[in-house]
Structure formats: C-alpha cells, structure tokens
Amino acid sequence: MNPLPPFPRHLSPEAQVLLASVGVQNETERYPFIRQITGQSSIDWDFLMDAAEHNRVVPLLYSSLEKARAQDVSQGWMERLRDSCRYTLAWNLLMTQELVTILRLLDRESIPALPYKGLLLADSLYRDVSLRQVWDLDILIQNQDVDRAKQLVLNSGYQLNREVSPDAEMKFLEEDCEYTFVNSDTGVAVELHWRVLPRVIWNKVHPDSIWEKATRISVWGTTAFTLPPEELYLIVFLHDALKHHWTELKQVSDVARVLEVHPEMNWERFFEPISQTRFERSVLVGFLLAHVLLGACLPEAIESRIESDPVIGDFTALAVGRLFRPGFGLPSFSEWTNHVEALSLDRNPSSSAAMRTYSFPRYLRAVMTPEFRDRYALSTVSPKLLFLQHLFRPARLLRQHGFRLLNRI
C-alpha cells in the first residue's frame, strides 16, 4: 500500500486539527502538528466544534488540544470543550449505572445478555470512559428471551420508542433486529437486539451461532456475556458499515484503536463470515479510512484484501467527503475526485486529467449504491423484489435533495 504523509494536507485546517486529535500516530508527531496548524492557520473554531460534535469526538479533540498545548485557542473555547467533556463523563457514568441495573435484572431472570458497542468500546479500547461519546445501550439477547426481556425493561421505567401492534409483532420479530426503549426521566435509550441487523440487511450468520462462542465474564460489578475479539468487533463494524456507512469519525476511531489494542487478532477468522461478499468491502472501507485519515497501521491480511478490490477506494473517498458535511451529505464529483487523488485511493492510477475524464461512472456507482435506508424500506417485500432498492435509491435522494443533488453531482 502506498505510504502516506502523516496527516491529510488537502483538507481544511479544521479537519486536519480534528483528524490529528483523533488519530493514533505517535504523540511526538501529532502534538507538534496540532500546535503548528493552530498557530499558523486561521481556525474557524465554530466549524471545528460543530465538526467534532457531528462526528462525536469532542472528548478526543479537547484531550489532544490540552496535551498539545495548542496555540491561539481562546480560553472561552477551551472552557466550552471542557464543559462538553464533563457532560460526556457524567452521561457515560449514568449510562454505566443504567446498564448495570439492566444486566442485573436480566441475570436475575436467567436471561443471558451480551452488551456490545458503546460503553464496552469506551472501556476496552480507550481505557477511559470519558473519551468516547456514547449514544445508547446495546444489549444482545437470545430469540427465546425477547418477550421476557422486553417486559423487564418496560417494568423498570422505560417505554417503547415505537409501538408494534400485536398483529404485526411476529413479522417484526422475524424481520427486524431490535426494540428501542427510552427512559423519559433520564433520557437513556436501550436497544435490545435479538440479531445484529435487520434480516434484509444481513442474514448470513444465524443469531444462534453467535451465542455458541459467547462466554460469561464479570464486568462493572455484575456478570454478562462477551465474544472473542474476532466475533465481537465484526458485529460492531458490520453495524457501522452497513447501517451508518462510516459517516462518523468516532466509528473510524474505533477501528484504529482495535488495530492498536489487538495486534494479535486472527484476521482470517474475523473475515471468514463475510469473505468474498459485498459486506467485506463495506467493512474494509472502515479499515482504509482508519489508515489514510488516522494513521493506523494495517496488517498484511487486511492490506492484501484492500489491494485486491479495484473499487474500494471509490467508496472510501465518498465516506471521507461525508465526514465533514452537516447531515452526512454527499460530496460533489470534484470533491470526491480530490479525495481519491490526495489520499492515493485510486486502485488504477492514471494521470489527473484522465482520472477526471473517466471516473464519473465510478463516482455515480459509489453514490447510487443502495444504503441502509434504501434496503430497510423494502424489508417487508418478497426477496424477489429486492432489486427495487436500486431504483429506490435515486428516487429517495431526489426526494430528499431535489435539484440540489443534480447541481452537486
């Protein structure tokens, strides 16, 4: 894989500061770079703060700015960042307390529970619960325990975020993957999963096979189940890739830190359930983003898979273009081309002029490839009609963006 400069220089100074703050490069590289950029460039601190909040990496930004002793950062901005980090810590501690309460309730009723994502990643990858922003609590349970677990959570002060009628519930349990509950007093949201993703998105691994590899552990003063790293991080990355399409820097940060914390990972075992499928490419985009944006070192087993995929760079450039757009909007063709060239993402390098002349079909393919909302909208139709997702995608984009989409493309 082509060597890269330590930090992507073609992006805005604000993006460079954010990426250096989140990156996993050596501190002797990151901190001087942050001091240089903040000292020499006119930083739009409003944009930087919005980008950090949008990507859910405010604690990492604050931590790096403070440790780097960044120049020309007003006291007011540092206080704003500090207040946000204090809120994150308080929120995560509340979430931890709620998670422990629910795990104990489930354990008392002999319902195996497997927490993943969120707090688990904050604890295992960042070693500091205050450094990773957590949105909700994700708990995987077994199919036969769904009804009992649902009632336990309802009886503990939570309400369903979306009611499902009794007539539709059986179909919902067969096709969907989770119940979402919200505690109106605390604002905490809990997702009880009986499969990782809706059936229409990913049905290659039966939920029971996940539990065959689960082991019981002590965590946060209670007991729960967990998976070996290869299985655990695969389901986390599948969620980030297939549902969110790597549209948050926090997700890419998780990938970079898995590579850093688990150098002994058996990558052949990790990729086995998705090898030679479209899911493999979707997950590999996250690894390539971690490499080109955050400086993560890729093992040979991952590099070889990336090098053998001629179009993975096209989807990676699309993801880069969305990271710093409010609402995860699509980048224009010229923006996309700039990312492909600057980050050496073209698997078939050619001259810049040829790249811009012949790559428009590649850009359209990346933009028009159906995503989660396109596939999920057809979750109730016959599998024979799923080809309609390729028509639904452009129709949904036009409805959402109107003629602005055509102008951008």
Mind giving me the DSSP string for 290-319? Answer: HHHHH-PPPPHHHHHHHHT-TTHHHHHHHH
Token readout for 184 is 């109106």
Residue 389 near residue 375 (C-beta atoms within 8 A): yes
What pLDDT is stored for residue 370 in this prediction? 80
**Which is higher by pLDDT, 227 or 401?**
227
pLDDT at 3 over 50: no
User: In terms of DSSP bridges, do strands 215-219 and 178-182 run parallel, antiparallel, or are they unpaired?
Assistant: unpaired
What pLDDT is stored for residue 407 in this prediction? 62
pLDDT at 295 over 90: yes
pLDDT at 376 over 90: no
pLDDT band at 30 (very low <50, low <70, confident <90, very high): very high
**Which is higher by pLDDT, 373 or 163?**
163
What pLDDT is stored for residue 387 in this prediction? 65
Query: Rounded CA gap, 329 and 325, in Å?
Result: 6
User: In terms of DSSP bridges, do strands 137-140 and 189-193 run parallel, antiparallel, or are they unpaired?
Assistant: parallel
**Which is higher by pLDDT, 78 or 5?**
78
Characterize 193-228 residue by residue with b for buried, 16 or more Cβ atoms within 10 angstroms of its Cβ, and e for exposed.
bbbbbbebbbeebebeebbeebeeeebbebebbbbe
What pLDDT is stored for residue 303 in this prediction? 94
What pLDDT is stored for residue 357 in this prediction? 54
Share of the chain above pLDDT 70, in %: 86
Query: Rounded CA gap, 181 and 194, in Å?
Result: 14
pLDDT band at 409 (very low <50, low <70, confident <90, very high): low
Least-confidence region, from 41-50, 59-68, 234-243:
41-50
Question: Tokens 């729960």 sit at which residue?
Answer: 224
Mean pLDDT of 142-150: 95
Q: What is the CATH number of domain 91-227?
A: 3.30.460
pLDDT at 123 over 50: yes
CA 357, chain centre distance (Å): 32
pLDDT at 351 over 90: no
pLDDT at 119 over 50: yes
Share of the chain above pLDDT 90, in %: 55
The pTM for the full model equals 0.90
Token readout for 107 is 């354990």
pLDDT at 384 over 70: no
What pLDDT is stored for residue 2 in this prediction? 47
Domain residue extents for the chain: 1-73, 91-227, 370-409
Query: Rounded CA gap, 202 and 196, in Å?
Result: 8
What pLDDT is stored for residue 343 in this prediction? 82
pLDDT at 388 over 50: yes
pLDDT at 350 over 80: no
Least-confidence region, from 109-118, 248-257, 381-390:
381-390
Mean pLDDT of 59-66: 95
What pLDDT is stored for residue 345 in this prediction? 77
Residue 293 near residue 282 (C-beta atoms within 8 A): no
**Which is higher by pLDDT, 1 or 95?**
95
Highest mean pLDDT among 38-42, 186-190, 324-328: 186-190
